[in-house]
């Protein structure tokens, strides 16, 4: 399966990151940086910053739509967000998250939905949570020609089943099972595996054994790459954030402060000033001003 990612493509020649590049980066010991993005401006900024992979995560349910779980986000919503991100991302590998319900029912449904992401939204790859059935779905999707990323550990779509949003694989038995799941996902043909909220020793074992890169979120620095959610990284999310989040900025506060300046300028008539205002030729202005207000059609 790995060999299907090992050939140079036209996209690679154009400088675009491909699934094969991720595998090569792992081989060279180069860390992979992934971030979520849900629209064109953020996709463009991620690209400019040199991010390798942009994930249109189903975390959009919370970050974009303000809901409290990922399960409600629909294919229509995810396709729309992925198409928007595509408009901004030209270099990074664009991965669309398959929402809950889009791949659980059958291989056929999973393949159809993965193809929709490629055809309608321009995704380069899709991501699926879980092992077991998801492993078969990944094999079917990759078999249909769509690169797929796996996701093990804390898989938020199954949070209720897992007993909440908590770290996974903390017993030797669970740790062993997740290592086996990773092998199965790799054998099914996935091009990378996201490892979420698992102990570092477990992530280390998987990362050493797997030929494809592991992308960690709460799985330690031993992973081949890292992923963070846009709003968490930039300080745009409010309230409690998970232990594994590093906030690199407090842009939420910055935005509020800038908006407060705008509100204050509008209220004090400081905005707009002459530099934001259109002029008309002097002669036209004179003509206009000789017209009495009473003759104006709106009078
Ligand atoms: O939906 C998402 O943003 C994700 C990442 C946290 C990996 O799945």
Q: Out of 196, 200, 284, 286, which one is annotated catalytic? A: 196
| 171 Cα to the center of ligand 1, angstroms | 24
Asked if the model's pLDDT at residue 196 lies above 50, the reply is yes
**227 Cβ below 6 A of ligand 1:** yes
Asked if the model's pLDDT at residue 9 lies above 60, the reply is no
pLDDT tens-digit series, residues 164-192:
889 999 999 999 999 999 999 999 999 99
Q: Which atom of ligand 1 is nearest to the CA of 156?
A: 8
Is 76 annotated as catalytic? no
Residues with Cβ within 8 Å of residue 257, at least 6 apart in sequence? none
pLDDT tens-digit series, residues 204-261:
999 999 999 999 999 999 999 999 999 999 999 888 889 999 999 999 999 999 999 9
* 241 CB burial (10 A radius; 0-12, 13-18, 19+): middle
What is the chain's alpha carbon radius of gyration, rounded to the nearest angstrom?
24
Q: Which atom of ligand 1 is nearest to the CA of 59?
A: 1
Predicted confidence band of residue 292 (pLDDT cuts 50, 70, 90):
low
Residue nearest to atom 5 of ligand 1 (CA): 57
How confident is the model at residue 296, as a pLDDT? 61
Give the residue, out of 125, 155, 194, with the most ligand 1 atoms within 8 A of its beta carbon, to mutate for a pocket test. 194
CB atoms within 10 A of CB 225: 22
Q: What distance in Å separates the CA atoms of residue 279 and residue 299, rounded to the nearest whole number?
A: 23
How confident is the model at residue 297, as a pLDDT? 63
How confident is the model at residue 291, as a pLDDT? 81
Q: Which atom of ligand 1 is nearest to the CA of 63?
A: 3
List the structure tokens of 18. Answer: 């491909």
Residue among 196, 156, 162 nearest 67 (CA) = 156
Give the residue, out of 56, 59, 156, with the most ligand 1 atoms within 8 A of its beta carbon, to mutate for a pocket test. 59
């Amino acid at each position: 399966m790995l060999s299907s990612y090992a050939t140079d493509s036209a996209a690679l020649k154009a400088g675009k990151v491909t699934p094969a590049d991720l595998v090569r980066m792992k081989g060279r010991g180069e860390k992979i940086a992934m971030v979520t993005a849900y629209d064109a401006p953020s996709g463009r900024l991620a690209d400019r910053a040199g991010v390798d992979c942009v994930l249109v995560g189903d975390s959009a349910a919370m970050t974009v739509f303000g809901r409290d779980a990922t399960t409600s986000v629909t294919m229509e919503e995810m396709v729309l967000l992925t198409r928007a991100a595509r408009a901004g991302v030209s270099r990074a590998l664009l991965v669309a998250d398959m929402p809950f319900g889009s791949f659980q029912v059958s291989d056929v449904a999973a393949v159809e939905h993965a193809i929709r992401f490629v055809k309608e939204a321009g995704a380069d790859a899709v991501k699926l949570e879980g092992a077991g059935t998801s492993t078969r779905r990944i094999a079917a999707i990759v078999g249909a020609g769509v690169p797929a990323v796996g996701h093990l550990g804390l898989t938020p779509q199954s949070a209720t089943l897992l007993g909440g949003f908590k770290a996974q694989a903390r017993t030797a038995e669970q740790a062993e099972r997740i290592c086996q799941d990773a092998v199965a996902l790799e054998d099914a043909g996935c091009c990378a595996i996201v490892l979420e909220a698992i102990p570092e020793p477990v992530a280390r074992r998987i990362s050493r054994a797997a030929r494809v890169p592991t992308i960690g979120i709460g799985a330690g620095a031993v992973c081949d790459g890292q992923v963070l959610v846009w709003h968490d990284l930039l300080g745009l999310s409010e309230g409690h954030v998970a232990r594994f989040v590093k906030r690199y900025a407090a842009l939420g506060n910055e935005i509020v402060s800038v908006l407060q300046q705008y509100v204050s300028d509008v209220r004090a008539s400081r905005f707009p000033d002459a530099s934001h205002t259109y002029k008309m030729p002097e002669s036209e202005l004179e003509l206009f001003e000789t017209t009495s207000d009473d003759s104006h059609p709106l009078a």
